[in-house]
A and B are shown apart, each in its own frame.
Chain A
Amino acid sequence: MTEEIIIAGFGGQGVLSMGKILAYSGIMQEQEVSWMPSYGPEMRGGTANVTVIISDERISSPILTIFDTAIILNQQSMDKFEKSVKPGGTLIYDPNGITHHPERKDIRIFQIEGAQLAAEMGNTKIFNMIVLGAYMNVKPIVKLENVIKGLKKSLPERYHKLIPLNEDAIRLGMKNVAEIAN
């Protein structure tokens, strides 16, 4: 099994940390992982994206042009990455702020109202965890227990009290992701 993912959105949406949590979860279930961010001028104030690979085997290129799954969180990223999903692959997006919805017929497309659900929970910071939950439902590759284990290992102890909130957000995302008829 090899899963090649691109997560793309605005800086500040938690794109990079969502990727990191995913990668850490992969380690917790004894898989190989890589996390390659876009860095440099494009990161400063603009779009942010990260390529995450989870595999049972040694990972070759950490830099990819086509992906099994694209998680898309703004219009610029939709313009850039809708075409980068492998035929038969998966696209998950938050419709908030999207003006041109994906149109491909050869991939599976899912929506998650991440921004809206986060606002309803009264905490916009857990937006990325809701989206992560959506991904985990669509692609059950990393197990929830391993995500929690990964959080425990990667977060400083003073933040551990926030883990239940993150777990709730993941469950909310899992519940609310919806496939778009295609």
Chain B
Amino acid sequence: MGELKLMKGNEALAEAAIRAGADAYFGYPITPQSEVIEYLMAEKPYERTGMVVLQAESEIAAINMIYGAAGSGKKVMTSSSSPGISLKQEGLSYIAGAELPCVYANVVRGGPGLGTIQPSQADYFQSTKGGGHGDYRQIVLAPASVQEMADFVKLGFELAFEYRMPVLILADGVIGQMMEKVELFDQMPRLTDDEIAEKYPWATTGKKKGTQRRIITSLALQAHEMEAHNMMLQKKYADVTEKEVRFEAISCEDAEYIIVAYGSSARIAQKTVELARKQGIKAGLFRLITLFPFPSKALQNLCKQGVKGFLAVEMSAGQMVEDVMLSVRGCAKVDHFGRFGGTIHTPEEVLNALKSKIIGG
């Protein structure tokens, strides 16, 4: 067993970046995720592993540093919260277009606009439907515990490099600010420049005599070239959808009613399931771990198993519920419940909604 620590979600994310062998973190502070850069600055990973930590002059600068460093095959990460993530969207679209790997975290707060600093899940559309321009996708991992905040950094880098695309760790203020027990994975080595040059034939590591130039760009002036590039991206996204779906089904085997949730809402809904079961209601929790790719087939299978209704619970006015509806395709009742704008629903409120909107409705 690894080292056990009591850590905030944000701290676990930061420590995991060091341990995953990241080469650099570029960021800009914003509540409720400022602990990420605070932790990294205090921990001085440049002394531990040689990892660079840099506070950029803005979010836009940070994401473009990511773009550049990722292009050279380095393992790089950034993080922010909602308004800062909006600023990063242009860079993310370029990174997706140029097929570069990176991991970034959004510790979501209430919006729109500058919003509030309390937790929210209202960035689902932005995260899963492409927050920047163009036909691109990113893998979205939704941690529901401090442990997963750490584990998904490691997993995120693996996926980012396997598919050469951005991986988003979509957390929220609750997961970022809460402390839990976390078992940290062992320190992984950073790759040397030679190892990068050998391992990543796409990385711009400096042209040597007799080798081909490597060009990284998201630009193709000819429409047919851009279409071919897009088709190749779509093939990759289909491959990701086929292979990388992750979810957790809790008490779903005999469930008549299922709550679909992710992140901190899933934790709250798990308590709702406990309360419901005590009252004799056969409730279950379907926890999304990947938001893209979305576990549509698994939800369809639950429908076939005879589930009568699904309640999508999220701290938003109703975003993820649309993907549940698309997955279930009318074979069972689907409705939404959630507090939003920085307010968190309670397990009791979720239970009341399950009864009024799904069971009795």
Residues of A within 8 A of B (CB): 20, 23-24, 27, 32-37, 39-41, 59-65, 154
Q: Which of B68-76, B79-87, B154-162, B176-184 contacts A (4 or more CB under 8 A)?
A: B176-184
- Asked if residues B181 and A39 are in contact (CB atoms below 8 Å), the reply is no
- Asked if residues B348 and A65 are in contact (CB atoms below 8 Å), the reply is yes
Verify if B169 is at the interface (C-beta below 8 Å from A): no
- Asked if residues A34 and B179 are in contact (CB atoms below 8 Å), the reply is yes
Return the chain A residue nearest B182 by Cβ.
Answer: A27
How many angstroms from the CA of A60 to the CA of B264 in the assembled complex? Answer: 9
Contacts of A63 in B (CB 8 A): 174, 264, 267-268, 344, 346
Verify if B271 is at the interface (C-beta below 8 Å from A): yes
Across the interface, B177 reaches (CB within 8 A) one of A32, A36, A61, namely: A36
- Asked if residues A27 and B270 are in contact (CB atoms below 8 Å), the reply is no
Return the chain B residue nearest A154 by Cβ.
Answer: B6
Contacts of B178 in A (CB 8 A): 34-37, 62
Residues of B within 8 A of A (CB): 4, 6, 31-32, 116-118, 173-174, 177-181, 264, 267-268, 270-271, 273-274, 344, 346-348
Across the interface, B181 reaches (CB within 8 A) one of A33, A41, A60, namely: A33
Contacts of B32 in A (CB 8 A): 39-40
Q: Kindly list 20 other residue pairs between chains A and B, CB separation below 8 angstroms, not including A32-B181, A40-B31.
A: A20-B6, A23-B6, A23-B179, A27-B181, A33-B6, A34-B178, A35-B178, A35-B179, A36-B174, A39-B32, A39-B177, A40-B116, A59-B267, A60-B267, A60-B270, A60-B274, A61-B347, A62-B178, A63-B268, A65-B348
Across the interface, B173 reaches (CB within 8 A) one of A34, A35, A39, A64, namely: A39
Contacts of A40 in B (CB 8 A): 31-32, 116-118
How many angstroms from the CA of A41 to the CA of B267 in the assembled complex? Answer: 24
